[in-house]
A and B are shown apart, each in its own frame.
Chain A
């Protein structure tokens, strides 16, 4: 039963075509088929959030989707968000606020926060904590992540005003 399915999808604004087994998880597809290893796998049962990416702009757990389901859709992973020379305000804020330690959970947090900040440009502490309650971090205790989000919100609303 190793039949493959042809899929075509866009990841980080680049179109890809592949033939893959239907059971291949989207997380494995991104990491090993496309070599985009910035999306990390923490649990494969949809609890830790480390594998979160954007699917047509919505945050999803890539370990809970078969890659074939992404046929015809758009994925944004951490590699598509910013570069070393041009960090996204969230990435820059995480660095300023020391919101990452080992960095393993970080891409999942950041991608979850991108649509959150779009919908909530001025969130309070409670709203932020609710928004990230689907992502587990074992290193930071979350406090600096909350600070980073507030900082990013400031940066992004300042940019909008310009």
Chain B
């Protein structure tokens, strides 16, 4: 093996570094027009009238559209993911977003009209010309009040604001509770925020009226479903639509949401006006118009015996889905990495007058892990057991894999942990951060000097590499280079390199000679997208399977050409040669040409060229594991927190490119730190977002993110030939739980119980004040 497992520099970097990589806003077409949206200021209102006459008069304005103008062609977006088929008694009220408001506004920022003009500048001027008459309605902003019988209804055809309800049961929690020596029962509130990728969303649609072909550039993580859905909506055939997700400036989840209002509208307008239309989201819009994660309120309970062994967990919680629920149910569990025999959870998904929520990096696992780790930490305190020890007592032991949880995971497959070996990872993290040394020597010494330092260590699991499937096609070209096409898009994960490594190893070429196309439906049109830490696992294995097939074809043909048995052949440096006889060789390019003759006859059943297409779909997701440890210091006068040391040990099975993996971990941790202490979308009681700018929505910069030391363990997955598991979200998952533990540890005199996320200096001040007053 030459490349897999090595820190190979990225193929895509030179173009990105020199400004020669295409992002959606770089697309510039002749006669292109620009769109700007009029969005509702109110979160809940009836639309009485719209007057667009002044906007139409403005020079440079070509058209204005409203729901009324769309007429019969106005229709809501599709429900993307139906409720889990394998769970009984799921209640699901599907209500999907609309292209433009028709009768009622349901969140602040919902689009009411769109202006098409010669420049974005003029379009924004014209947006201000539009006069809208909105009758404000009572706003549903609070999750719990939303479910009260007195609450106003967001969807008036429903009986309440309940969007969905689902119960998951494993074993018998009630019985476990009776047998428990200790019950830890707490209300925990977890808020997450926006993905806030550096590139906002955007879409360019170009309808060629003469060839009847629609090309769309879209900042989507799911170009293939977008293409299929657009074709259906617009009454076209799939082969008449091409969706390209070029280089994307980060995704992190919300770009996986499909059929945003803009995605439904812009291509439709492009066809109507027969001119290319571009819409680029600005940063303020991004806070209103792109999905995000928000609050969950958990009433959670853990039942344990006096040795700290978990007998069962129960978690009833409310989840804020916003005004619509196109994305279905993505529910994670709260059992962590632990051997839990009894589990009961009931989720109630609630409509509110806010933007739709869909998964952001972590996708429910940060919340689930927060619950599991916090309850365990509190149990450890009550029982006087060390936090590391209590975790070891509860980890699923290595001989119990594959471990069945009897409920479903967030991708609707059975929740089965494929493989794992957790203790060594935890031990390694403890060693790397110097846990014992810190607790025994450093911490007491620093405390005596007046420093409030604390240590935390938490673990997590993450279901990754979920189905349904992905595919890839690999072709040896006449110039000897290898072209690879796969359906997943790339938002910075290094697919152009990690996937190339897989191919290069199989086909004996230089990794730089493997050229990938991702995210272009003209190149490959089967697959779902990049989400849930599945790119490397699912697309990677499809690529592996395809490469294996191409290798077989190469050897078969080369064997005929070189007149030597296949066993004696080797492929390296871009050619096939008979082992130890260098002059008996043929380059891959020549071989590819021979495989595609212009004249002559071929054997019946022969496929031309050296090409293969393969698919991979795992039975269920591969479970990755990790431990994070952190030492921090709190200035109890200013409430400022400084992270002194940060360690991650992760186990995501076989590592394709350690450099890329570590980069993913660093980035994930940075986001986790944001979720723990900096990022919060602040809504007021009228569901107005108060901090829709990067000046007030605080993303960590280089002075807030510490140096992160990353260690690796590799427990391969039995679910795929590469043995790999996903890692894209891992860094972000345990950080809020880690922060809570470390803060409590830093402030023992306050005996804090942190049951919320995020925190902030202001909030820490309030918590400490409350404690001081009560003592």
Partner-contacting stretch, out of A41-49, A67-75, A114-122, A152-160: A41-49
Whether A52 sits at the interface, judged by CB under 8 Å, is: no
Cα(A137)–Cα(B18), bound, Å: 18
The main secondary structure of chain B at its interface with chain A is loop
Residues of A at under 8 Å CB distance from B? Answer: 2, 21, 23-24, 31-32, 35-45, 47-48, 50, 77-79, 81-84, 87, 91, 94-96, 98, 100-107, 110, 125, 128-130, 132-146
Q: In the assembled complex, which residues on chain A have CB atoms less than 8 Å from the CB atom of B10?
A: 95, 98
Closest to B280 in A: A41
The reply to whether B20 and A84 form a contact with Cβ atoms under 8 Å apart is: yes
Residues of A within 8 A of B731 (CB): 141
If A129-B703, A138-B671 touch, whether A79 touches B14 (CB-CB below 8 Å) is no
Q: Is the CB of A103 within 8 A of B283?
A: no
List the 10 closest pairs (A to B, CB-CB), nearest first.
Answer: A38-B19, A104-B249, A102-B492, A141-B666, A103-B16, A101-B492, A141-B670, A37-B26, A47-B694, A43-B283
B630 within 8 A of A: no
User: What are 27 A-B residue pairs whose CB atoms fall within 8 Å in the complex?
Assistant: A36-B19, A37-B23, A37-B25, A38-B19, A39-B19, A40-B23, A48-B283, A78-B18, A84-B15, A87-B18, A95-B9, A98-B7, A98-B660, A100-B13, A103-B12, A103-B21, A104-B23, A128-B702, A132-B701, A133-B703, A137-B198, A138-B667, A138-B671, A139-B663, A140-B666, A144-B663, A144-B666
A142 contacts B198, CB within 8 Å?
A: no
- Alpha-carbon separation in the docked complex, A82 to B196 (Å): 29
User: Which residues of A lie under 8 Å from residue B671 when comparing CB positions?
Assistant: 138
Q: Is the CB of A43 within 8 A of B694?
A: yes
Chain A residues near B669 (CB-CB < 8 A): 141
Q: Are A41 and B25 in contact (CB under 8 A)?
A: yes
Among B21, B195, B694, which residue has its beta carbon within 8 angstroms of that of A48? B694
In the assembled complex, how far is the CB of residue A125 from the closest CB belonging to chain B, in whole angstroms?
A: 8
- Cβ-neighbour of A138 out of B16, B18, B250, B693 (below 8 A): B250
For the complex, what is the distance from the CA of A130 to the CA of B10, rounded to whole Å?
27
Query: Which residues from B are CB-within-8-Å of A32?
Result: 28
- In this complex, what residue of B is CB-closest to A129? B702
Task: Please list the residues of chain B having a beta carbon within 8 angstroms of any beta carbon in chain A.
Answer: 7, 9-10, 12-23, 25-26, 28, 59, 121, 195-200, 247-250, 252, 282-283, 491-494, 659-660, 662-671, 693-695, 699, 701-703, 705, 707-708, 731
Q: Are A100 and B16 in contact (CB under 8 A)?
A: yes
Which residues of chain A are within 8 angstroms of B665 by Cβ–Cβ distance? 141
Q: Taking chain A's interface residues, is the majority helix, strand, or loop, or is none over half, making it mixed?
A: loop
A143 CA / B706 CA spacing, docked (Å): 8
Contact with B25, one of A31, A91, A132 (Cβ below 8 angstroms): A31
- Given A38-B18, A40-B23, are A101 and B196 neighbors across the interface (CB < 8 Å)? no
Contacts of A142 in B (CB 8 A): 666, 670, 701-702, 705
Tell me if B693 and A94 are in contact (CB < 8 A): no
Give CA–CA (A101, B707) in the complex, Å: 18
When the two chains form their complex, are residues A23 and B16 in contact, meaning their CB atoms are under 8 A apart? Answer: no
With CB as the reference atom, state the residue of chain B lying closest to A125. B707
Docked-complex contact A50 and B198, CB < 8 angstroms:
yes
Residues of B within 8 A of A145 (CB): 702
In the complex, the answer to whether A102 meets B703 with C-beta atoms within 8 Å is no
- Contacting residue for A79 out of B13, B19, B199, B693, CB 8 A: B19
Distance (whole angstroms) from the CB of A5 to the closest CB of chain B: 15
Contact A106 B16 (CB under 8 A): yes
Q: Name the residue on A nearest B26 (C-beta).
A: A37
Docked-complex contact A138 and B283, CB < 8 angstroms:
no
CB distance from A136 to the nearest CB of B (A): 5
Which of B12, B19, B23, B695 is A78 in contact with, Cβ under 8 Å?
B19
Assuming the contacts A139-B667, A140-B666, A142-B670, asked whether A38 and B20 have C-beta atoms less than 8 A apart, the reply is yes
For residue A42, which residues in chain B have a CB less than 8 angstroms away from its CB? 198-200, 249, 283, 694
Contacts of B18 in A (CB 8 A): 38, 78-79, 81-84, 87, 91
Q: Is B197 a contact partner of A138 (Cβ separation < 8 A)?
A: yes
Q: Would A103 and B693 be within 8 Å (CB), given that A37-B19, A39-B19, A84-B18 are in contact?
A: no
Report the separation of the CA atoms of residues A104 and B389 in the bound assembly, to the nearest whole angstrom.
43
Check A98 against B199 for contact (C-beta < 8 Å).
no
* Residue in contact with B248 in the complex, picked from A102, A128, A133, A135, CB distance below 8 Å: A102
- Chain A's closest residue to B8 (CB) is A98
Given contact pairs A24-B121, A31-B26, A129-B703, enumerate 8 new A-B contacts (beta carbons under 8 Å): A37-B22, A79-B19, A100-B17, A101-B494, A107-B19, A138-B196, A139-B667, A140-B666
Residues of A within 8 A of B694 (CB): 42-43, 45, 47-48, 136
Q: For the complex, give the distance between the alpha carbons of A150 and B133 in Å.
A: 58
CB-defined contacts of B13 to chain A, threshold 8 Å: 94-95, 100, 103
Beyond A95-B10, A129-B703, whether A104 also contacts B198 by CB under 8 A is: yes
Chain B residue numbers with a CB within 8 Å of A81 are 18
- Selected contact of A136 from candidates B15, B663, B701, CB within 8 Å: B701
Kindly provide the distance from the CB of A69 to the nearest chain B CB, expressed in whole angstroms: 17
CA distance A100 to B26 in the complex (A): 19
Considering the complex, give the chain B residue whose CB is closest to the CB of A108: B198
Q: Find the B residue at minimum CB distance from A90.
A: B17
What A residues does B705 contact at CB under 8 A? 141-143
Contacts of A94 in B (CB 8 A): 13, 17
Contact assessment for A138 and B707 in the assembled complex, using a CB-CB cutoff below 8 Å: no
- Chain B residues, Cβ within 8 Å of A45: 283, 693-695
Are B14 and A84 interface neighbours, CB within 8 A?
yes
Contact A136 B198 (CB under 8 A): yes
Q: Identify the interface centre among A36, A44, A79, A139: most chain B CB within 10 Å of its CB.
A: A139
Contacting residues, chain A, for B695 (C-beta < 8 A): 45, 47
B7 proximity list for chain A (CB < 8 A): 98
Inter-chain CA distance A77–B18, complex, in Å, is 10
**Given the complex, which residues of A lie within 8 Å of B195, measured CB to CB?**
138
Contact assessment for A102 and B20 in the assembled complex, using a CB-CB cutoff below 8 Å: no
Which residue of chain A lies nearest to B706 when distances are taken between CB atoms in the complex? A143
B12 partner residues in chain A, CB cutoff 8 A = 103
CA distance A81 to B17 in the complex (A): 10
Give the residue name and chain of the B residue nearest to A141 (CB). B666
- For A77, the chain B residues whose CB sits under 8 A away are 19
In the complex, the chain A residue whose C-beta lies closest to that of B703 is A133
Q: Which residues from chain A contact B21 at a C-beta distance below 8 Å?
A: 103
Q: What is the bound-complex CA distance between A100 and B671, given in angstroms?
A: 16
For A105, list chain B residues within 8 Å (CB): 198, 249
Complex Cα distance A37/B22, Å? Answer: 8
